[in-house]
Amino acid sequence: MNRFKTLGLAALVAASFIAGQAMAAGGHDTKTPERQSWSFGGPFGTFDRAQLQRGFKVFREVCANCHSANRIAFRNLSQAGGPEFSEAQVKALAAEYKVKDGPGDDGNMFERPGRPADRWPAVYANAEAAKATLGAVPPDLSVIAKARSYSRGFPLFLVDPIIQYQEHGVDYIYSLLALGYDDPKDPNHNSYFPGGRIGMGAPLSDGQVEYTDGTPETVKSYARDVAAYLMWMAEPKLEERKKTGFRVMAFLILFAGLLYFTKKRVWAGAH
Ligand code: HEC
């Protein structure tokens, strides 16, 4: 009986291995994203404020020219656990944008300067308008870092749920932006995009965004920083969640210890 179980398990493992290989082959020349180390990874991870602020700069100056991010409001940028800009900075930033409001007393919509409570304004009114100009629909970036995932194939996919590896999305975004455009003859080739051809030309180039803290102004730094920023947008309460998780674990361990000693005491004279 036991032999059969072992055999069955071996067959299952072999089958999933073959399925994994077949899936990888099906994606043509799609590569598996490179795993990066992130400050916010692991059970105690926290965001690097300076990195989020740089990432926001890249997002604002480059990505937001095409992509929307309609789930964040300006004021989120000053909240704890994020880039933590000051309230004055956020107020000034919001005021640089024009926001549609209304209808006013005359029944017409009007434009006014943005306020911290406004959502991040999109350049294109809708997906059709964006497609008409860009040729493809740029997805909203609010939760993209969590929406993109992939199996790292055998054997890592067995370990990922155990080690709670949740940075697939950011690894993918980093690889897509920093490493994927590797065919000089085809500007729409991207080794990490499913299928290998993407409707977005390489959005980043060295020196494009100015950094004031000495971080190198390279495609790789921009890609890392903007990926981290997209992770914060997708999970603004990440730090809180990890803190709570740690407290719960500490409590459970303490509680288990107390139960153990109580049990010992209660049963001490039982035999
Ligand atoms: C010139 C416009 C433009 C700019 C600038 C731009 N993108 Fe895109 N992006 C697009 C379009 C269009 C698509 C859709 C491509 C497709 O579906 O083939 C896209 C797709 C994507 C995707 C989706 C990939 C997927 O798995 O579906 C991500 C992630 C992305 N962009 C991130 C970024 C980031 C981060 C930046 C800033 C560094 C950026 N983009 C700048 C136009 C742009």
150 alpha carbon to ligand 1 midpoint, in Å? 18
Q: How far apart are CA 154 and CA 158, in angstroms?
A: 7
Q: pTM for the complete prediction?
A: 0.85
pLDDT for the residue 236: 95
Report the SS3 class of residue 38. Answer: coil
Mutate which of 54, 56, 66 for ligand 1 pocket (most atoms within 8 A of beta carbon): 66
pLDDT for the residue 174: 97
pLDDT for the residue 270: 66
Residue-by-residue pLDDT tens, the chain, 271 positions: 466 666 666 666 555 555 454 444 444 568 999 999 999 998 889 999 999 999 999 999 999 999 999 999 999 999 999 999 999 999 999 999 999 999 999 999 999 999 999 999 999 999 999 999 999 999 999 999 998 877 777 777 777 777 777 899 999 999 999 999 999 999 999 999 999 999 999 999 999 999 999 999 999 999 999 999 999 999 999 999 999 988 999 999 999 999 999 999 999 876 6
| Nearest Cα residue to atom 39 of ligand 1 | 63
Residue 63 CB contacts under 8 Å (≥ 6 apart), including other chains: 141, 203, 226
Strands (DSSP E) contained in the chain are: 98-101, 110-113
pLDDT for the residue 88: 98
Q: Using an 8 Å Cβ cutoff, are 226 and 67 in contact?
A: no
112 alpha carbon to ligand 1 midpoint, in Å? 29
Among 165, 167, 192, 164, residue whose Cα is nearest residue 178: 192
Which ligand 1 atom is the nearest neighbour of the CA of 222?
Answer: 38
Handedness of CA 232, 234, 235, 236 (dihedral sign): positive
Domain 31-72+125-260: which topology? Cytochrome Bc1 Complex; Chain D, domain 2 (1.10.760)
Ligand 1 binding pocket includes 63 (Cβ within 6 Å): yes
pLDDT for the residue 158: 77
106 alpha carbon to ligand 1 midpoint, in Å? 39
Ligand 1 binding pocket includes 204 (Cβ within 6 Å): yes
pLDDT for the residue 3: 67
257 alpha carbon to ligand 1 midpoint, in Å? 51
State the amino acid at position 167 in one-letter form. Answer: E
